[in-house]
Amino acid sequence: MADPARSLDRARETWQKHGRSEKWIQQRMTGQETRNKLTDYWKEHDIKEGEEYAILTNIIHQEWTGVDVKAHKTMKGLKTQNLRDHMSEAELILTSHLAGVVGQLSGMAMQGLPRWRNCPRARSPRAWRLPA
């Protein structure tokens, strides 16, 4: 198993080499911690890694960007790179904030979540839009 502290140090060094500010690096690390908490919550509630994580991530992403993750990567000219590593500070803040909010709201609404797997409309992001 990899040492998490060494992984974080390597990531920090890579971001510094790419000219990222300390503020950006801290926001990126905070966002990763928030994302980890959210995916831990999903895992605890039997959300399957892979496709189901991707579906939920796209839903969250589309709510604030108006585009899915794939389209956002295309807009930034990315192919295999991590989208978050190429976000501005503002984008990182929004991503982290929304992941935190979703994690908190999930605790309130988790009873209805398993039903989305059986709903044909669940694959459509519009089915998950919050009321205005």
For 71, the domain range is 42-107+116-132
Is 72 among the domain residues?
yes
Is 25 among the domain residues?
no
Residue with tokens 């929004």: 94
Is 125 among the domain residues?
yes
Residue 5's pLDDT is 79
Is 15 among the domain residues?
no
Contacts 24+ apart (CB under 8 A), 79-84: 84/28, 84/31, 84/32
Residue 78's pLDDT is 94
Mean pLDDT by 10-residue block, N- to C-terminus, for the chain (132 residues)? 79 93 93 88 86 88 88 94 92 86 66 50 48 46
Is 34 among the domain residues?
no
Domains: count for the chain: 1
For every residue of the chain, DSSP letters joined together read: ---HHHHHHHHHHHHHHTT--HHHHHHHHHHHHHHHHHHHHHHHTTPPTTHHHHHHHHHHHHHHHSS-HHHHHHHTT-SSS-GGGG--HHHHHHHHHHHHHHHHHHHHHGGGHHHHTT-GGGGSGGGGPPP-
Residue 76's pLDDT is 94
pTM exceeds 0.75? no
Residue 117's pLDDT is 52
Rounded distance, CA 60 to CA 66, Å? 10
Is 124 among the domain residues?
yes
Is 130 among the domain residues?
yes
Is 80 among the domain residues?
yes
